[in-house]
Amino acid sequence: MSITDNLNTAPSWVSPVMRVGYSARAATYVILGALTVLAAWTGGQAEGTSSALGQLRDTSWGVPVLWAVAVGLFAYALWRLIAAHYDLELHGSGLKGIVARGGLIVTGLIHVGLGVSAARQAMGGGEGGDSVQSLASWLMQQGEWGKWAVATVGLVTIAAGIYYVFKGFRESYKRHLRETRLSRKLDPAVKVGLVAHGIVIAIIGIFLAYAGWNADPSQAGGMGLAFEAVRNQPFGRFLLAGLGLGLIAFAVYCVVEAVYRIIPRCSSGSMHTLAGNFSTAWERRLKRFA
């Protein structure tokens, strides 16, 4: 019997939607990481997420892949929104839980935007501009408060990046992952991927905060600008290549999530996670919701 039988759980299709979503996220980061490594090797321009996906359009198999990625990103967004609504990960209704569930909503909305971008590219609609810079520009046009909003978004983004880095080092992700021989072997790549992703997100946040402070939206930017900032450092091409490999490792993390992730409200207490027995980690939380 599931230890969540006495709780209101999400629809049965939540789990497959989540797994499709993580798979699409993995495909996106494989493409992005590979192009970043290639840019470091050849000295070319490092691409952001939208531009990296846009390069697929010119290949013979690119359009079907773009559609598949778009559908998957929408699935990931749906998973995040449903997880927030049903509190599938048992964050609770306190201040900490509200912040965590708010973060799920924000990441869901971000992936709606990425899904729209991939769909537009599949239809030949072009890559568009830098979405982060566009957001900063729009906010600053709304009034004097706009630059402070951009700076605040930047600080929140930095915090999100730090969260990913700590998530990797503290290994808190292990509580959600079913333990198997393969998941144990892939764990080092998962840790590296989370740290690399956190570094990129934090750099984007720094540019956003700086743009808000100076009331200059041109100083904001997404992953493309973050990659260029890394390249401009001493030994920048080597750092950029390492970051690209780290993003490929983050794709491995997404694959591991797609295959082995446990949804607390929808899972039994008999399985074993990378962090130990599932029931000992989550049953105490479930009792608070019963």
Which one has a higher pLDDT value, 142 or 52? Answer: 142
Estimate to the nearest angstrom the gap between the alpha carbon of 249 and the chain centroid. Answer: 13
Alpha-carbon span 89 to 98, nearest angstrom: 12
Give the burial string for 76-88 (b: 16+ CB within 10 Å, else e).
bbbbbbbbbebbb
Q: Which tokens hold the place of 137?
A: 């520009």
For the stretch 216-268, pLDDT in tens is 777 776 667 777 778 778 877 888 889 889 999 999 999 999 999 888 777 65
Residue 6 has pLDDT above 80, yes or no: no
Q: Where are the domains of the chain?
A: 14-289
Check residue 90 and give its pLDDT: 75
Mean pLDDT along residues 110-120: 80
Contacts of 27 (CB under 8 A, 6+ apart): 65, 68, 69, 72, 251
DSSP designation for 33: H
pLDDT digits (tens, 9 = 90+) for 118-177: 888 888 765 555 566 666 777 777 777 888 888 888 888 888 888 889 889 988 888 888
What is the enclosing helix (H) or strand (E) of 276?
Answer: strand 276-277
What is the CA 7 to chain-centroid distance, rounded? 28
